Amino acid sequence: MEEPWDFEFLSRVADSCLSFLHEFVNDWLANDMRVAIFKILLSWLIFSLVAIHFAWKVYGNTVNDMYYRQGSGQNGGTPDAAPHLSGWENKSGDTLKSHRE
């Protein structure tokens, strides 16, 4: 019976990963326009994520408090039913509207 993770399979995976990394490093060190664009976009992404992280640390509680509803009820402070609107059924239990073709 053959092992599911034999040495040949792992060796192929390791070789493909190493060749990809070698090619990536060679492209990274080259003075190519697509590498420059990739570096700019990668640095912009990292800068944006760091800025979002720090902004959330500073203003996260304020934003959360603005949108968090305090109190009891269906969704925090909202009442279960609005007093000036009728529900789906009237007081006698009959439906207000029915679909007719």
- Cβ pair 35, 28 in contact under 8 A: yes
User: Each residue of 16-58: pLDDT tens digit?
Assistant: 999 999 998 888 888 788 888 988 999 999 999 999 999 999 9
SS3 call for 36: helix
For the chain, give the percent of residues with pLDDT over 90: 29
Question: Per-residue pLDDT for 61 more than 80?
Answer: yes
Tokens in use for 84? 């000036």
Tallying the residues shown for the chain, one arrives at 101
Write down the pLDDT at residue 91.
55
* C-alpha distances in Å from residue 88, one per residue of 74, 79, 92: 17, 16, 12
**What pTM does this model have?**
0.45
